[in-house]
Amino acid sequence: MGAPRFLLSNWNRHQGLGLKMKTPRSVRTLEDFGRIRLSKSFFMRDFLYSDIATIHRMTNLPGDPELAIAAGRGLCEYLLEPLQATFGRLAIRSAYRSPEVNAFGNDRYKSCGSNETNWCLHIWDQRSKEGGMGAMASIVVPWLVDRSKQGVTWQAMAWWIHDHLPYSELQFYPKLLAFNIGWHECPKRRITSFVKPRGLLTKPGMDNHKGNHSCLYPGFPELVGAVAT
């Protein structure tokens, strides 16, 4: 997978000159970076906000912008776009984290995993040990929040995604049924949850992993806007 199709002219000029894109260091270059379009609906700026960085006045920007863009494109085109096309607007809760911000969150708040465990997840600009790239975002699906009051469960959404999208990892949380959704070149296809029943829902090799699970998400809409893998 190469660079995104939707790019700014400044980025194209960098490519044409064979220059490596640098981390933004000024308002103008950050504005340009934030305007880079990752997919039909999403821009880089949508994924840069961090509560930790805001409160502690830290910079939350990638050291390798090119890798972050390419990984973000995979996340947006293959997962977030079809989810939004099918279920309506998504709310991005947390997405890209710089190694510095993630390490601080891990040490100070215990709310982030270690940097090593977040490579190719929230730290988009680091490759995995095997060399692959990936990206993760924490999202809320208002469609699911509204229907959870009527008994729709996190498991139903998990199995719908499992059957329809090339995700790598899903992890569900109690508040607003937010969940981490990760894309990776070599997907793990693993689902866990901090919502009862907590723990592992499925992974390759488990009896429940293969096959069609549509009986577990009755009334869910048909997939819209999938990108061929």
Q: How confident is the model at residue 123 (pLDDT cuts 50, 70, 90)?
A: very high
Chain-centroid distance of CA 183 in Å reads 7
The residue range of the domain holding 177 is 46-216
E-strand ranges in the chain read: 91-94, 134-140, 169-172, 179-184, 190-193, 199-202
Note the pLDDT tens digit of each residue in 9-42.
444 545 444 678 999 999 999 999 999 999 999 9
Task: Give pLDDT, residue 6.
Answer: 39
Which amino acid is residue 129, in one-letter code? K
- Ranking 128-137, 175-184, 208-217 by mean pLDDT, the lowest is 128-137
Distance from the Cα of residue 198 to its chain's centroid: 21
Confidence of residue 111 (pLDDT cuts 50, 70, 90): confident
Identify whether 62 is part of a domain.
Answer: yes
Question: Which of 65, 180, 79, 60 lies closest to 125 in space, CA to CA?
Answer: 65
Q: How many domains does the chain have?
A: 1
CA distance 119 to 184: 11
Q: Is residue 29 part of a domain?
A: no
Q: Does a structural domain hold residue 156?
A: yes
- Is 125 contained in some domain? yes
- Residue 17: the pLDDT is 46
The token pair that represents 147 in the structure block: 């229907």
Average per-residue pLDDT in the chain? 92
Q: Does residue 98 register a pLDDT over 50? A: yes
Does the residue 223 lie in any domain? no
Q: Is residue 76 part of a domain?
A: yes
Please check the confidence at residue 45 and state whether its pLDDT lies above 90.
yes
Which pLDDT score, from 0 to 100, does residue 4 have? 39
Greatest distance between any 2 Cα atoms in the chain:
56
pTM metric for this prediction: 0.91
Q: Is residue 1 domain-resident?
A: no
Residue 38 belongs to some domain of the structure: no
pLDDT digits (tens, 9 = 90+) for 131-152: 899 999 999 999 999 999 999 9
